[in-house]
Structure 1
């Protein structure tokens, strides 16, 4: 049964992958931190998945959890498995970048399986760079002695194709949500910050991104915990 938790979000939390210190304070996420610590109480490798619609605040929350846990946790975003720009153009999907079929789902599943095994060697994960709109291979090291891997992304709870394997690879899954007005405002601002003009940014947020958000909402019930970010 899915649990629910409301977390005060008194600042501007975007979903860009950077931590906004005006956003969710560490004091507001004590219950979430306790939950994450309980996952790794025995010291064994665990994977925590944090999902939600674009600009819901999942990247910032994931970064807060990892920062609070220090060397006990590593953040491995799903976005490292974006298909390359050239491949998206070849497939005719570039205008839908961010949709479920614009990622290498099988590659991401293979990474999660390697991370679960926690063998003797460091596992390297790719990192998506918004400034160049490409992924960089081998950018995130995950040493074997790190007990918690936090992964965040839009489609962690999808039950179609290769994505369906992910849910069983997660020891716990959190679904992050915020009211649509706030989320869409953040999303438009994020697109503008990365170089789109306001009209193009709005078209993207209310078009392709919103279609993706509506699909992601259908996966909400597969989570262990719904974290609702409320305006402070």
Structure 2
């Protein structure tokens, strides 16, 4: 069993324990970490594990759907720094999380980021009222910076994925290489944007309820 699978099962076990204590009320889980830390893969596997349990329904809710559009970032002069904390709609994310937690609507449409075209697709995923557990994953879910610091109280369980910087660098380079970028562009994106963001996330995140390690991130 890989460390990713171990981490996913550890989070799922803690989630099910929390769900039982909440007596069936919808549970909101945050999985945070630096870009390239493997949090998205872990979150996907947590959802798979939870959906394999009898009587439990889980859904994935990625934070990346709240990226500002490239046209907006260009007007802001922030397009080269896409992925930094100020290039996301923090208030939109917060209100959607609160709507999901309230679980008053029969279905909630959430945006999903399409990395192949670098654009968020509105209404890219539907989360129905019957879903018991929402697993939200993203870089800044535990940030102490305003207004991001308003997110943590919404969650019932918070997780941070720890990974060594060398593994982050390796994983990020491989990610951009898979999208067809050349070495010069990869180096610029990783060293000038992704890694600085990753360091800021690691140092600027609040303490989670649990930490998991992912040495396989690279």
TM-score (normalizing by structure 2): 0.91
Q: Could you tell me which residue of structure 2 aligns to residue 179 of structure 1?
A: 164
C-alpha contact (below 8 Å) 2:27/2:133 kept by paired residues: yes
SS in 2 for 1:76: strand
Alpha-carbon distance between aligned partners in 1 of 2:105 and 2:10, rounded to the nearest angstrom: 32
> Is this contact kept in 2: 1:122–1:144, CA < 8 A?
yes
Check if 1:66 corresponds to 2:47.
yes
Task: Determine if the alignment matches structure 1 residue 139 to structure 2 residue 118.
Answer: no
| Partner residue of 1:156 out of 137, 141, 145 | 141
Contact 1:74 1:149 in 2 (8 A): yes
Residue 189 of structure 1, aligned match among 150, 154, 174: 174
Deviant stretches of 4+, over 6 Å: none
* Matching residue within 13, 32, 36 for 1:51: 32
The superposition leaves residues 28-52 of structure 1 with CA deviations (integer Å, 9 ceiling, x where unpaired) of 6433221111222221111100001
Deviation at residue 170 of structure 1 after TM alignment = 0.9
Deviates more, 1:79-88 or 1:160-169: 160-169
CA distance in 2, matches of 1:229, 1:212: 18
Q: Which residue of 2 aligns with 1:228?
A: 213
* Counterpart in the other structure of 1:14: none
- The runs of 5 or more residues in structure 2 that have no matched partner are none
CA displacement at 1:161 relative to structure 2? 2.1
Deviation at 1:166, TM superposition (A): 0.2
Once residues 52 and 101 of structure 1 are traced to their aligned partners in structure 2, the CA distance between those partners, rounded to angstroms, is 17
Residue 12 of structure 2 corresponds to residue 33 of structure 1: yes
Moved more, 109-118 or 190-199: 190-199
CA deviations on 1:154-181 (whole Å, 9 max, x unpaired) are 0001122221110111111100022221
Residue ranges of structure 1 left out of the alignment (5+ in a row) = 1-6, 10-23
Q: Distance in 2 between matches of 1:62 and 1:29?
A: 7
Partner Cα separation in structure 2 for residue 173 and residue 78 of structure 1 = 14
SS in 2 for 1:202: helix
For residues 218 and 44 of structure 1, do their structure 2 counterparts lie closer, same or farther at Cα, with a shift above 3 Å needed?
Answer: same
Mapped contact 2:167–2:215 kept (Cα < 8 A): no
Equivalent residue, structure 1, for 2:204: 219
Count matched residues: 211
Q: In 2, distance between residues paired with 1:98 and 1:162?
A: 16
Q: Secondary structure at the match of 2:141?
A: coil
